[in-house]
A and B are shown apart, each in its own frame.
Chain A
Amino acid sequence: MDTADGFEAHRRWEQTLNEGRWAMVPWPRKYGGRGANLIEWLIFEEEYFRAGAPGRVNQNGIFLLGPTLMDFGTEEQKARYLPPMASSREVWAQGWSEPNAGSDMAAIRASARKQGGSYIINGQKTWCSRAAFADWLFGIFRTDPDSQRHRGLTFILVPLNAKGITVRPIAQLDGETGFAEVFFDDVEVPLANRLGEENQGWKVAMATAGFERGLMLRSPARFQATAKRLLELYKRHAAEVDDSVRNAVLKAWMDAEAYCLNTYKTASQLIAGGSIGAESSLNKIFWSELDVHMHETALSILDARAEILPTAPEAGDVDGWLGGFLFSMAGPIYAGTNEIQRNVIAERLLGLPRA
């Protein structure tokens, strides 16, 4: 997905999905969806992963920005951005972090200065997922130069082909360019590209982050599919490993089931009119640690072959476990580090005092 050719192949797959109205089934029909409810969406996800279908190249768009647009966008914005997002004619990258604003996201410095009918953007974003090949970027920028922390920020949509933008791809642990640095040098975008109110970007961004940590980004079928592959791997090698590995495999299966059950619980609450807030932090810790656990277990079964790439002549059934392991190690970091999630749980769910 993170090479130029692979990216375009994924984009074509998304277009095929969209032609059958399968790209984003919970969206309204007018935006390219099927108007499915959340339970139906979870069923779609189960079938998608059961089929072993490709990863979603536009996940920043369809799973994160899409739901945010539904909540905060004007009718014009929804009509403008959602259909090409569903078809992946426009693929999105995210622009949250900066060199000095990581876990401390409120330290953002990249600025958007109002000038006539435009914002003039300057500064730098980094760790921008998919930015190496994407068409658009969403992010938050400081619109009030005198503001502190999370006040004075605005959520803005930026075309990556705008004049003054430089994208520098960053190779990840596996050597591919899954993310990039983006430099803004007097980049001009219309005021109409603002999502939500001016200086209220933090609130909009928190909603997006909630989708990321919560329901949409990591549907349970993804982990159940991995747990199922792990069971099959274990069965092939059961004679070579001891009971501690068996128990680790059982834990993987149990936690994938628990994640599924909890997601159905959350979906039922949302359908009944409820909302999720800080609870999404519980979710993010659980799925990221589950993913690490499953891949570590797989590597312990593969033993000395765990370091062998699938391209090696004697690779056997190493499959994608090593690549999956490397990716799983990013889980406790992206979408807000698990340390930040633990602070959120402690302060907002348990009611412990702020530091």
Chain B
Amino acid sequence: MRSFLSKQCDAVYVRKSWETESGRSQQLWAGLAELGALGLQVPETRGGLGMNEVDMVLLLEECGRAALPEPFAETAAVAAPLLASLNDCAEAQSILSAIAQGSAIVTPSHEINPFVSDAHIADFVLLSRGDEIHLLKRDQIEAELQESSDPCRKLFKLRWTPAVGSRVAAGQQGRSLSDDMLNRAALAVAAQQLGVATRLTDMAVAYACEREQFGKAIGSFQAVKHQLANVAVRVEFARPVVARAAFCVATEAAERSVAVSHAKIAACEAATAAAKTALQVHGAIGYTWEVDLQIWMKRAWALDKTWGASRVHQARIAAALLGGEAAPSFGFSV
């Protein structure tokens, strides 16, 4: 995945995507299908690899490292496993095959976000409202573009009319799928943020080794070293938290919501700290449109607030830890 993206999704490609109408590349999408990445969590009976979240977060980290504009996380890490759980829905099952082949883009819509990503190219929107889940075709929605500070992100205000025919789950199943959507998407954001944080740190280190002031590389000054070391600490201690959350989602562990919220907070803190530090290390040149640093800084800031800002995830953890239940235990249990 890293080698594929470093060739197919370098900074030149990312900048080029800002200029095109869709901002997306069919060739790149086809390449992701060919790799097996799009079908990683599609069951083998539907032409996928039948792997799980523990595997998927490794790919998502690479997406963050490359600042991939395409809705890979939305389709492959969020929509695909949700559709796979709709055993009785023939349409959902047929979409799964299309996802694995690269011929269907599915984007999730959840009340936690005001806007939906990639509605302009999505073949389907998997929508959670209240205790209902709807599967909407492109002609059943109207989408109005909301320009993002990250030119890669295509966000839309969605308009749609509820119809009995589009409903694929309701009641207890709908509520559970809604939680599942939020957990999978927040986990996907966390995993991407690890890659974003790592890339930002790498760029700042490279610049600090090259840029000279007072006759030596600025990276030899402690004031610079210590800021970058602090970022390294946050990234190091976020990575196993994301891995644990992936394991909890994969095993449907009772504590998965808490584990995912922890991962979202920890990885977003690491990425936003990396963005702030990388900019400071670059100085004025980092503040320019021309330098590629902006690609990853803006991604870090955008992802920090999507699928629940820290406040939302703190509240979920607080409810579990402070809700009158016994205090959490040791080790892996929460």
Contact = CB atoms under 8 A, between A and B. Distances in A.
Contacts of A49: 330
A250 B314 contact: yes
Interface stretch (A22-30, A318-326, A341-349): A341-349
Q: Among A234, A345, A352, find the residue whose CB has the most chain B CB atoms closer than 10 A.
A: A352
Interface residues of B, number: 39
A232 interface: yes
A355 B224 CA distance: 11
Nearest to A231: B327
A258 B330 contact: no
Interface residues of A, number: 47
Interface in A306-355: 339, 341-343, 345-347, 349-355
A82 B327 CA distance: 38
B226 A339 contact: yes
B240 A350 contact: no
Q: Among A50, A221, A285, find the residue whose CB has the most chain B CB atoms closer than 10 A.
A: A285
Interface string A239-272: 0000000110110011101111110110000000
B225 interface: yes
B54 to A, nearest CB: 13
Given A346-B226, A351-B209, A259 B237 contact: yes
Contacts, number: 122
Contacts of B220: 352-355
Nearest to B330: A46
Interface in B186-216: 201, 205, 208-209, 216
B314 A342 contact: no
Contact of B322 (A50, A231, A260, A355): A231
A258 B233 contact: no
Interface string B236-252: 11101101100000000
A353 B217 contact: yes
Contact of B330 (A221, A262, A355): A221
11 contacts: A42-B331, A50-B330, A231-B321, A261-B243, A285-B230, A285-B233, A339-B222, A339-B226, A342-B230, A346-B226, A355-B222
Interface of B: 201, 205, 208-209, 216-217, 219-222, 224-226, 228-230, 232-233, 236-238, 240-241, 243-244, 262, 265-266, 314, 317-318, 321-322, 327-328, 330-332, 334
